[in-house]
């Protein structure tokens, strides 16, 4: 299997607030190695579109031990920009024999 490096733009709180008292967030790029990607099935496209209104294109497999926040984050791989949909699905690390125990769907980000 060939893995890819994914650039995850993780949101971090700057400690400042805007005029409406909401926290000002900063995107910090982080490279996550050893990720896998695969196209989502037609059924997953339809289900995700019906549930979230977003069109899933790929599904990323995230390596075990990764502690980054993938929820609704901007990512880059294959020379394209994407946005994750929701939060990752996670399996019990000890029950999964391979290197990946979480997966998340992504949509095109323009």
| pLDDT tens by residue, 94-106 | 888 889 999 999 9
Mean pLDDT of 84-96: 89
- Percent of the chain past pLDDT 70, that is, above it, reads 99
Total domain count, the chain: 1
Task: Phi first, then psi: give them for residue 50, nearest 5 degrees.
Answer: -65, -40
Q: What is the CATH number of the domain that holds 96?
A: 2.40.10.270
Mean pLDDT of 34-59: 91
Confidence grade of residue 1 (pLDDT, cut at 50, 70, 90): low
Q: Which domain holds residue 104?
A: 4-108
Whether 16 shows a pLDDT value over 70: the answer reads yes
Non-local (6+) Cβ contacts of 10 within 8 A are: 27, 28, 29, 30, 68, 69, 73
Task: Specify the 3-state DSSP secondary structure of 75.
Answer: strand
């Amino acid at each position: 299997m060939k893995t890819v490096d994914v650039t995850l733009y993780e949101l971090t709180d700057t400690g400042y607030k805007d005029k409406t008292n909401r926290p000002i967030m900063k995107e910090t790029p982080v490279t996550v190695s050893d990720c896998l990607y695969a196209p989502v099935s037609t059924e997953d496209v339809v289900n995700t579109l019906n549930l979230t209104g977003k069109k899933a294109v790929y599904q990323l497999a995230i390596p075990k031990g990764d502690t980054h926040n993938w929820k609704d984050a901007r990512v880059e791989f294959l020379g394209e920009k994407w946005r994750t949909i929701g939060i990752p699905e996670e399996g019990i690390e000890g029950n999964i024999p391979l290197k990946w125990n979480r997966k998340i769907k992504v949509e095109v980000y323009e």
